[in-house]
A and B are shown apart, each in its own frame.
Chain A
Amino acid sequence: MLYAPPIARLLEELERLPGVGPKSAQRIAYFILRSDEQVAGRLAEALLEVKRAIHFCPRCHDFAEAELCEVCADPERDVTIICVVEEPRDVVAIERTGEYRGLYHVLGGVISPVDGIGPEQLRVRELLDRIADGTVKEVVVATNTTVEGETTALYLARMLKPLGVRVTRIASGLPVGGDLEYADEVTLGRALEARREL
């Protein structure tokens, strides 16, 4: 089927989005076409705004609006403990548990040789730098329990332990092989309590 060029262009852009196939793209495009112009305007504005206003926190590499992210800027947080996660969305999942009062470090992925991702492609160096001044006493590794997440946890433990910091891993309660993102709050909270030494 042939679309008018502006529609074809919108479909093409929508299909670039994760989880959006041709059918979803078509549904979204038709929704927008049928809606008021304001709806499209608000969406376009929100998209640009998020790109303009949000950057990576220079400390933990989570998304931030101000210079530092909310967690790093909060004087109430426990600066002796850092929780290492794969992606910003994992920070959101752990914050929702209300169990954790320390800081975060977002790696930006996991070690996966088949995808060409080694420690150098992640923010491992930056994590080691944060440990260097001796303030941090414990690092909680909260990567996913996938093959790559577990291996990354082990790698970090081997790098961090010689620096004299306690390294723990969130444990029980997480379905093995599952993504942190899909675990419910209760399960995650319990897993955080039962973190183990690596």
Chain B
Amino acid sequence: MTELRLEGLRLETFRNHRDVSIQPAGGLTVVVGPNAAGKTNLLEAIAVTASGDSFRPFSWPDLVLEGEASARVGLTGIRAGARFEASLEVGSTGAKTFSYNGTRRRPSEMAGKIPVVSFVPEDLSLSKGSSDVRRNALDALGRQLSSAYERIRKEYARIVRQRNTLLRTRADRNALDAWDARLAEVGAALEIQRARLLGRIAEEMVPAHERMGAREPLVVRLLPSWSEEQVSHEEVVALGRDGVRERLERRMAEVGEKERERGHSLAGPHRDDVVFVLEERQARTAASQGQHRTIALAWKAAEAAVVSQVTGVRPVLLLDDVMSELDRSRREALSSEMLGGAQAIVTTTNLDYFDEHTLSSAGVVQL
């Protein structure tokens, strides 16, 4: 596995920070400070520079400190024995420039260079939230791992948007047919990609869930828009593009009338769901608060493992104030599953969430 270590981080006029530099430790770095000190912004700066994306909804101009022309983030560190330097510059108009070792890059070209896995309190709603939370979690991971995944996802989203507009304007049948065919074709490609990715996640997530002390075994399933029943990711992959396309076409024919009534596409991967099953019951409705949290933790541990496998680099973990959301046993599970040996930057309002032994080897940054 390729070694990756962040050694320096500098934020200039980024969000609320005028000029801040920190030197993360090789293992755990705890960033402690009161609310509104800008702890989350610090993690966001790393995430956006490394992956071109944040763990929260944002627009590029938001990243620039009020009244300033631009914001800059610089990351330095060691990757595979060599020093690297990555930077992001964002103008107040939203124009952005990524560079890696002095060369300008597109955000998509940053994929896999400095992999990060973030964990924020909102991620805890993974299994109890609505289906888009789970789709977004998969897509955010897919985007970081493969530019082809992101290309297909964007293409598909564009097709759905175009087709929805057409449905609302009650256009002629021939034009709609062409969009139907494209939705089924690109939708099938996206569904297969997602099923493959979910397969990798499940492989890591199920044992992690068990190691975290859950008594009930976890089963990860898919609920595609074309099926009344949950299916396994293997079944979707085995159908292949043609098989999924046929099912999407059949489903579109069934819901065609309803689609025109509502002016909205009802078949396709934008309607798919990931289902977590505990003792033959859907976790979404049946699980306790504690069970939901364990599922979310297991997913994050799996994400870190999958990123390592695919990129060959152990990702830097960015944990935003999640310790306060977890009880003691889950904090310990998080420490042993994710923090062991990884470089992690963790924000908190209260150092008491960490035991003395952990803190003795950690770097502490006061904001």
Contacts and interface: CB of A to CB of B under 8 A. Distances in A.
A118 B176 CA distance: 10
A8 interface: no
A142 to B, nearest CB: 17
Given A155-B177, A177-B155, 20 more contacts: A111-B175, A111-B178, A113-B162, A113-B163, A113-B166, A113-B179, A118-B172, A119-B172, A119-B174, A119-B175, A147-B158, A147-B182, A151-B182, A154-B178, A154-B181, A154-B182, A155-B175, A158-B177, A176-B151, A177-B151
Contacts of B158: 147
Interface residues of A, number: 17
Contacts, number: 47
Interface string B146-174: 00000100010011011101100101101
Interface of B: 151, 155, 158-159, 161-163, 165-166, 169, 171-172, 174-175, 177-179, 181-182
Given A154-B181, A154-B182, A177-B155, A148 B174 contact: no
Chain B contact surface mostly: helix
A114 B174 contact: no
Contacts of A148: 162
A151 B151 contact: no
A159 interface: yes
B171 A159 contact: no
A178 B178 CA distance: 20
In this complex, which of B161, B166, B171, B178 has the most chain A Cβ atoms within 10 angstroms of its Cβ? B178
Contact of A118 (B159, B175, B177): B175
Given A154-B178, A154-B181, A158-B177, A147 B159 contact: yes
B162 A114 contact: yes
Contacts of A176: 151
12 contacts: A111-B175, A113-B169, A114-B162, A114-B165, A118-B172, A119-B174, A147-B159, A151-B162, A151-B179, A155-B177, A155-B178, A177-B155
Contact of A159 (B166, B169, B174): B174
A69 to B, nearest CB: 28
Contact of A147 (B155, B169, B172, B177): B155
Given A119-B175, A154-B181, A158-B177, A147 B151 contact: no
Interface in A132-153: 147-148, 150-152
A46 B159 CA distance: 41
A187 interface: no
A113 B171 contact: yes
Contacts of A177: 151, 155
Given A112-B162, A113-B166, A118-B171, A151 B178 contact: yes
Interface in A106-143: 111-114, 118-119
A111 B174 CA distance: 12
A154 B175 CA distance: 9
B109 to A, nearest CB: 14
